[in-house]
Amino acid sequence: MGSRIEDYALLSNCRTAALVSSTGNLDWLCLPRFDSGSIFGALLGDERHGRWSLRPTDSGARAERRYDGDTFILLTRWTTDSGVAEVTDAMPISDDTAVIRRVTGLSGTVEFDCEVRFRFDYARALPWVEQTGTRQAPCLRAIAGPDAVDLRGLQLHGHGRRHTGRFAVSAGEARDLTLTWQPSHLPGTSARDVDDDLDTTRRWWQEWSDKTEHEGPRHDLVTRSLLVLRALTDERTGGVVAAATTSLPEAIGGERNWDYRYVWLRDAALTLEALIAHGFIDIAHHWRDWLLRAVAGDPAQLQIMYGLAGERDLQERILTSLPGYEASAPVRIGNGAVTQFQADVIGEVLVALDAARSAGLGEDHFSWHLQKALVEQAIERIDVPDQGMWEVRDEPEMFTHSRVMVWAALDCAVRAVRDHGLSGDVARWKAFRERMRREIDASGYDAVRGHFVQRYGSTAVDGALLLLPQVGYCRADDPRMLGTVAEIEKRLMRDGFVMRYNTDDGVPGDENAFLACTFWLVEQYAMAGRTEEATVLMDQVCAVANDLGLLSEEFDAAAGRQTGNFPQAFSHLALVRAADALGGHGGRATHRQ
C-alpha cells in the first residue's frame, strides 16, 4: 500500500505542484502546468506509474519534516544508526520549471538510494532516456512527445525501465539533485545554481507571507492556509486551481474521483475573498484581469470553470493508464461539470469583486461593464433551474443556495451604484432583488419544520445553506437559520463532521464529510454567539490537518484519514474564514447586512 493522502507535502512554484511523501517519494508531478500530464504518477497507482524516490538505505531510518518557515521549501531530517542528514525539497520560483532535492549531512555519514522512473503523460508515454553529461557532471535526459527533463547531480544507471544511484553524505557535505523541464525540441537545460534558487525561493515566499494581515486564533494554520491559496494561484495567468491533483477519491474504493486542477469561478472567488480579507488586494486585480479574458465578449457563454489561462475545452475523459489511488477508479482528466449551469456562480463572482471594491480596488470601464453584463445574464436566466454548487449529475432543480446567490448578485449590483457611485439600472435591479427574496422566503423555507431547504419542494437540507448569512441574506441568529442549523446537526452530522448533503445525485456510491462545510458550521456558531461550540468544533476539524497544516477535501472520521483532492483550496479558505469568525471578525457579510 502507498502513502495516505495526509502523508504528502506540497511543493509549488505557483505554476504547478509536486507531492512528496513522508517516506521520500515524489509521487505526483505534472509539467509544466498544474493541469499538464504527469511525469510522476505513482499517487494514482504505484512506482510503475512514475516516481522519484530518495531515502536512506537504512531501513530503520526515521524521518521528521517541516517547512522552512512560511515557505514551501520542505525539510526532511533523516536519523539513522550511522548519522543524520537533511533533504531539502523545493520547486524554485524562477523563469523555468524545476525540482530541487538537496541532501545535506548533519552528523556521521548517511547513505542514500535514489531511484527514478520516468512515465510521461499520465504513464501513457515511456520516454527514451540517455546520458548527456559527464562523469564529473552527470545528466540524465528523458524525452517523450513535447516534454523533456534533465536530471543532474548523480550518475544513474539503467535497470530495465528504472534508473538508480547511490551516494553518501557526511557532516558538512551536500549533494544537489535537480530536475528541470523544457520543451523537447530545445537542445537541453543548463546546470542550476541551487544556492541562488533556494535563497530566491525562500525570500519570495517569506516576503509574501510577511504581508499577511492576521491577528487572532489559529495564526499558524491561517498563515499556512493563505500560503496554500497562493500556491494554487498561477503567478503568470492569475488563474486559481481548486486543488493540485486529480481523482483522489472522496471515498476510498469509490468512483467519485474528479479532476480539480482547473479554475472554478466559485472556488476562485471564495479564495479571493479570503486573500482580500488578509491584505492581498493585488491578487484580486490579477484575477479580475484573468476573468475579463476568460469571459471575453459574451457573458451568455459563461462557463462555471476554465483552464489556467482561460481555456474552455475541459472535456472529461477516463484514463486507463492509471489504476487509481488505492484502486479507486476511474481516474479522470477534464471535468464534465464544465457544461453545467450553476446559477450561484455569477453571485459568487460579484460578491468577491464587491469585496475587492470595498477593500479599495477601483473599477475600470471594462471591469464594471463585465459585472453589469453578468447581472443581466443572471436576470435573463432567473427562472432556470440548475445543478447547484455541488454539481449534481442529475436533473436540474431550484436549489435554495443558488437562488440566494442570484439575490446576492443583484444585491451587489444595487450597492455598487448606491455606495460606490457606479452606473446602472438600480431600480430594475432592486425590483428583481425583492422578487428573489419573496420567492426564496416562500419556496426555499419550510415554515412547518422551521428551516431552509436544499431545493424547492423538498424537506432536505444541505451544507450550502450555511452560506446564507455569509452573503448577507439573513443574520446568523435569524430563527430560520437557527432552525436550519438544528436540522443540519440532526441530518448531516457524521462523527462530528458535516456532510455536504445526503448523496442521491446521479453518481453511484457515497462520500465522506466535507471539511469546508464543517468550517462553515464553525463560522455559523461563532456568528450566532455559540462561541464555546464553535471553539470545540474548530479544534476538532483543525486536528484533521496533517503535520504540515495541509487539508484535503473530505475526511473519513471512521478510518481517521483524509480523502478527496489535496490540498484543497475550499478547505483552506473555509479554515481562514472560521478562524476570523472566532476572532470576532464579522465575516464576508459585515458590510452587506
User: Tens digits of per-residue pLDDT, 413-448?
Assistant: 999 999 999 999 999 999 999 999 999 999 999 999
In a domain, 51, yes or no: yes
pLDDT, position 502: 82
Least confident of 210-224, 476-490, 500-514, 548-562: 500-514
What is the reported pLDDT for 589? 60
d(CA 569, CA 272): 11
CATH of the domain at 464: 1.50.10.10
Query: Confidence class of residue 276 from pLDDT cuts 50, 70 and 90?
Result: very high
pLDDT at 117: 98
> Do residues 123 and 233 both lie within one domain?
no
In this structure, are 398 and 546 located in the same domain? yes
- 3 state SS of 573: helix
Helices assigned H by DSSP within 135-255: 194-210, 219-231
Domain membership of residue 242 (yes or no) is yes
pLDDT of residue 298: 81
Q: According to DSSP H, which parts of 444-568 are helical?
A: 479-491, 515-527, 531-542
Alpha carbon of residue 482 to chain centroid: 30
Region 67-83: mean pLDDT is: 98
For 162-215, what is each residue's pLDDT tens digit? Answer: 999 999 999 999 999 999 999 999 988 999 999 999 999 999 999 999 999 888
**Distance in angstroms (rounded) separating the CA atoms of residues 266 and 315:** 19
Whole-number mean pLDDT of the chain? 95
Residue 98 lies in a domain: yes
Residue 590 inside a domain? The answer is: no
C-alpha cell at 76: 526532511
Can you give the CATH number for the domain in which 147 is found?
Answer: 2.70.98.50
Does 587 reside within a domain?
no
Cα 341 to Cα 130, 217, 302, 321, 471, distances in angstroms? 49, 38, 9, 31, 21
Find, among 424, 297, 288, the residue nearest to 363 by Cα.
288
What's the pLDDT at 216? 83
Which residues sit opposite 321 in a β-bridge? none
Q: What is the distance between the alpha carbons of residues 159 and 57, in angstroms, rounded to a whole number?
A: 18
Distance between CA 52 and CA 26 in Å, rounded?
Answer: 5
Tell me, what's the pLDDT at 584?
86
Please give the tally of structural domains in the chain. 2
pLDDT at 13: 98
d(CA 156, CA 138): 8
Whether 1 shows a pLDDT value over 70: the answer reads no
> What is the distance between the alpha carbons of residues 433 and 91, in angstroms, rounded to a whole number?
47
Check: CB of residue 88 under 8 Å from CB of residue 75: yes
pLDDT of 260 strictly over 70? yes
CA-CA distance, 76 to 229, in Å (whole number)? 23
CA atoms within 13 A on the CB side of 128: 5
Residues 231 and 200 in one domain: no
Quick check: is 335 in a domain? yes
What per-residue confidence (pLDDT) applies to 215? 84
Structural domain contains residue 280? yes
Domain boundary among 174, 205, 236: 205
Same-domain pairing of 261 and 285: yes
| CA–CA gap between residue 356 and residue 432 (Å, rounded) | 24
Please compute the mean of the pLDDT values over residues 333-338 and round it to a whole number.
96
Cα–Cα nearest to 585, from 476, 434, 455: 476
User: For residue 562, what are the domain limits?
Assistant: 211-582
DSSP string, 7-62: GEEEEE-SS-EEEEETTSEEEEEESSSTTSPEEE-GGGS-GGG-EEEEEES-TT-E
Q: Looking at residues 482-492, what average pLDDT do you find? A: 97
Considering Cα of 331, then 334, then 338, then 339, what sign does the dihedral take? negative
Q: Count of H helices and E strands in the chain?
A: 13, 26
Cis peptide preceding 396, ω within 30 of 0: no
- Residue ending a domain, among 155, 182, 205, is 205
Give residue 476's pLDDT.
96
In a domain, 84, yes or no: yes
Give the rounded percent of residues in the chain with a pLDDT score beyond 90. 88
Residue range 264-268: mean pLDDT, rounded: 93
Q: Are 154 and 165 in contact (CB under 8 A)?
A: yes
Q: Are residues 180 and 219 in the same domain?
A: no
DSSP 542: H
Q: Which of 205, 221, 247 is the last residue of a domain?
A: 205
Confidence band of 135 (pLDDT split at 50, 70, 90): confident
Share of the chain above pLDDT 70, in %: 97
Scanning the structure block, which residue is given the C-alpha cell 488563474?
Answer: 239
489 plus 369 within the same structural domain: yes
User: Are 141 and 217 part of one and the same domain?
Assistant: no
Using only the alpha carbons of the chain, give its radius of gyration: 24
Check whether 116 has a pLDDT greater than 80. yes
The contacts found for 493-501 with CB under 8 angstroms, 24 or more apart, are: 494/557, 495/557, 495/558, 496/537, 496/540, 496/557, 497/540, 497/541, 497/555, 497/557, 498/463, 499/463, 500/390, 500/462, 500/463, 500/464, 501/390, 501/454, 501/460, 501/461, 501/462, 501/463
- Report whether pLDDT(592) > 60: no
Do 500 and 462 contact (CB within 8 A), yes or no? yes
Judge if 193 and 315 occupy the same domain.
no
Vertex 227: Cα angle to 222 and 230 (nearest 5):
130
Tell me the per-residue pLDDT of 373-387, one tens digit each, with 9 for 90 and over: 999 999 999 999 999
| 346 has pLDDT over 80 | yes
Q: Is the pLDDT of residue 593 over 70?
A: no
Q: What is the DSSP string of 399-425?
A: BHHHHHHHHHHHHHHHHHHHHH---S-
The reported pLDDT for the residue numbered 364 is 82
| Residue whose C-alpha is closest to residue 590's, from 284, 273, 375, 336 | 273
Looking at per-residue pLDDT, the higher value among 367 and 40 belongs to 40
Choose among 364, 350, 343: nearest CA to 416. Answer: 350
Q: How many of the other CB atoms lie within 10 Å of CB of 310?
A: 18
Residue 345's contacts (CB-CB under 8 Å, 6 or more residues apart) are: 265, 266, 302, 304, 405
**pLDDT (0 to 100) of residue 588:** 60
Q: Are residues 216 and 68 in the same domain?
A: no
Cis omega before residue 330 (within 30°)?
yes
Tell me how far apart the alpha carbons of residues 405 and 344 are, in angstroms, rounded to a whole number.
5
Separation in Å, CA 12 to CA 28, 174, 563: 12, 23, 21
Q: Residues 164, 237: one domain? A: no
Residue 206: predicted pLDDT: 97
Cα separation, 81 vs 108, whole angstroms: 9
Same domain, 397 and 258: yes
Q: What's the distance, CA 27 to chain centroid?
A: 18
Residues 371 and 234 in one domain: yes
Note the pTM of the prediction, 2 decimals: 0.96
> Does the pLDDT value for residue 554 go beyond 70?
yes
